[in-house]
Amino acid sequence: MRATSGVKITSPLLAAAGPETRAALLSRASMLAVPRGATIIAQDQPAERLLILLQGSVGLSTAEDGGAATMVEIVAAGDALSIAAALLQVPHSVSAVALAPCRLLAIPAEDLRAAMAADAGLMRAAMEQMTRQWRLLMEQVVDLKTRDATQRAARFLLHRLPAQRGAVEIPEPRGAIAARLGMTPESLSRALHGLEAAGLLRLHGRRVDVPDRAALQRISLPRAGASQGARRV
């Protein structure tokens, strides 16, 4: 399936819908392209449409009353940005900003809700998507509690690495990645260059070569005697 702009639409969510449901959704959907740095979703705004990221990279952050904001997650192409808010008709609980030029598909929230009521597969896919995002967050919490900066950086790259070996393109600015990983840009830089010095990867600007995926994986395992939270209850 292709949309007007010629970008392939690959989304687990839409793939799960029946053909006619999908067609109905797409017929009323619109495509949008945003440059790096653009705000895609503003926190606390009503969710009028579901956004599916087709291309690019988006950072999710939350600002609390206190004024603290952090990059909570970086979502990759294929994921939906606001399922929960669109489904439940509640305001967005996060802001989303483009960390790279993005293409998104926008589906009116009411269309989505109607389609979901009619199509059980779509409903299930939506719940799977929500569950997946929950699990990612859980993984991040574990990372923050049990792994040091270098291990977190290594794991981030591993997550991005497409096949068993090779190179990754990292389009996001380092500062955004550092924030996602819970460290300063300085620390990320040191971690990355430390891994390079250890021969585990090669840095070429925003491209990273990983000669031996298994070796990197070994590094990213939490130290055996890890303390935090690993202690007996």
Partner DNA sequence: GACGCCTGTTGATCTGAATCAACCCTGCCC
Partner DNA sequence: GGGCAGGGTTGATTCAGATCAACAGGCGTC
Residues that bind DNA (CB under 7 A): 148-150, 173-175, 182-190, 192-193, 203, 205, 225-228, 232-233
- Which one of 52, 99, 100, 109 is in contact with its own copies (CB under 8 A)? 99
Question: In the complex with its own copies, which residue's Cβ is closer, 55 or 62?
Answer: 62
Question: In the complex with DNA, which residue's Cβ is closer, 62 or 187?
Answer: 187
Nearest to 89 by CA among 110, 72, 60: 110
Query: What is the separation, in whole angstroms, between the first and last Cα of the chain?
Result: 52
Taking CB within 5 to 8 Å according to partner kind, which of DNA, its own copies, none is near residue 1? none
12/125 Cα distance (integer angstroms):
7
Cβ 72 to DNA, closest distance in Å?
16
Query: Contact at 8 Å (CB) between 155 and 220?
Result: yes
Query: Contact at 8 Å (CB) between 14 and 2?
Result: no
Question: How many DSSP H helices and E strands does the chain contain?
Answer: 9, 10
Three-class SS state of 57: coil
Q: Is 81 in the site for its own copies (CB under 8 A)?
A: no
Both tokens assigned to 133: 């995002």
Both tokens assigned to 97: 């900003």
Q: Is 76 in the site for its own copies (CB under 8 A)?
A: no
Query: Contact at 8 Å (CB) between 206 and 164?
Result: no
Taking CB within 5 to 8 Å according to partner kind, which of its own copies, DNA, none is near residue 137? its own copies
Q: Is 166 in the site for its own copies (CB under 8 A)?
A: no
- The DSSP code for 10 is -
Taking CB within 5 to 8 Å according to partner kind, which of DNA, its own copies, none is near residue 62? its own copies
Q: Is 12 in the site for its own copies (CB under 8 A)?
A: no
Site for its own copies in 54-73 (CB under 8 A): 59, 61-62, 64, 66-72
Cβ 143 to DNA, closest distance in Å?
11
Site for its own copies in 136-165 (CB under 8 A): 137-142, 144-147
Pairing of strands 30-34, 49-55: unpaired
Q: Which helix (H) or strand (E) holds 70?
A: strand 69-75
Three-class SS state of 58: strand
# chain residues binding its own copies, by CB under 8 A: 58
- The DSSP code for 233 is -
Residue ranges that bind its own copies, judged by CB under 8 A: 37, 59, 61-62, 64, 66-72, 84, 87-88, 93-94, 97, 99, 124, 127-128, 130-131, 133-135, 137-142, 144-147, 173, 175-176, 178-180, 182-185, 221-222, 224, 226-233
